[in-house]
Amino acid sequence: MATGNVMTYLAAAIQMNAGADKGANLERAERLVRVAAARGANLIALPEVFNWRGRRAEQAAAAETLDGESLGLMSRLARELGVHIVAGSITERAGDSSRAYNTSVLLGANGARIAVYRKIHLFDVDLPGRVTVRESDSKLGGDDVVCAETPLGAIGLSICYDLRFPELYRRLAFAGARIIMVPSAFTFPTGEAHWETLVRARAIENQAYVIAPAQFGPNIYGYSDYGNSMIVDPWGRVIARAADQEGVVIAPIDLEYQDRVRSELPALKHARLR
């Protein structure tokens, strides 16, 4: 312990293949969170849209408030297990709008809500013959950069496509983030080409731990997700990576090591553009 904070602990990234059956998704998510906690993880992260991935016509019925079923379950688990949970993302109801937010929530070990992040960058892409996605047709973009102090270090929140926008991560670093979350559902074509490179780049340039839990395998939309959930250290080394299956990967978070990296190569202090 140092200044009330834990300097070394274990973090877990959960890999899933969520579908349109919310109950089944939540059962799997709970089981995997329990597996991670049983293996000693203090910080557990779920992938993007861990609780539901369905057709746009079903979104209104599946969307929840922050006090809904999915986050209620994760809050109870965090409190019961005494762990911090990043509840990947859920489809959050946005008042009377026909669209919803793609929202990630950080929960403390007492089950309380620490931070809420609404995905800023929406994935609109057309790769002919491979994948077409227009997230903005059904989702609203958020506006706020979110970094929260916790006993495990300051945690910065982001979601999936955000990964391609380094300015967000630099703002998180300047806000004090030591651990950065990237719950994702990267498509296979873009993931195979860019996923590892981008995750490692965000870790290297911000000298931060990056925890990137992901969806994998065929999905309801007719294409496949890349998976390869990973944890990367502040030097850019991949210290945990998931196989092509549902499961949990775990790696140590060593904030003293991070302090050394930032001290020996003080790039963040040398930054002149903010």
Mean pLDDT taken over the chain:
94
| pLDDT score at 4 | 59
Domains, the chain, ordered by start: 8-269 (3.60.110.10)
Q: What is the mean pLDDT of residues 247-272?
A: 97
167 is catalytic: no
Q: Residue 138 has what pLDDT?
A: 82
In this prediction, residue 6 has a pLDDT band, given cuts at 50, 70 and 90, of confident
What backbone phi and psi angles, to 5 degrees, belong to 124? -115, 110
pLDDT digits (tens, 9 = 90+) for 161-181: 999 999 999 999 999 999 999
* Catalytic annotation present for 160: yes
* pLDDT, average across residues 129-146: 83
Distance CA 237, CA 80 (A): 33
**pTM across the whole model:** 0.95
Q: What pLDDT is attached to residue 205?
A: 98
Q: Is the pLDDT of residue 2 over 50?
A: no
Annotated active-site residue in 22, 64, 119, 246:
119
Give the single-character DSSP code of 256: H
CA dist., res. 88 & res. 224, Å (int):
19
CB-based contacts of 49, cutoff 8 Å, min separation 6:
18, 88, 89, 90, 91, 102, 185, 215
pLDDT over 90 (residue 29): yes
Whether 3 shows a pLDDT value over 70: the answer reads no
Say which of 48, 64, 92, 135 is annotated catalytic.
48
Q: Catalytic residue at 48?
A: yes
- Give pLDDT, residue 131: 66
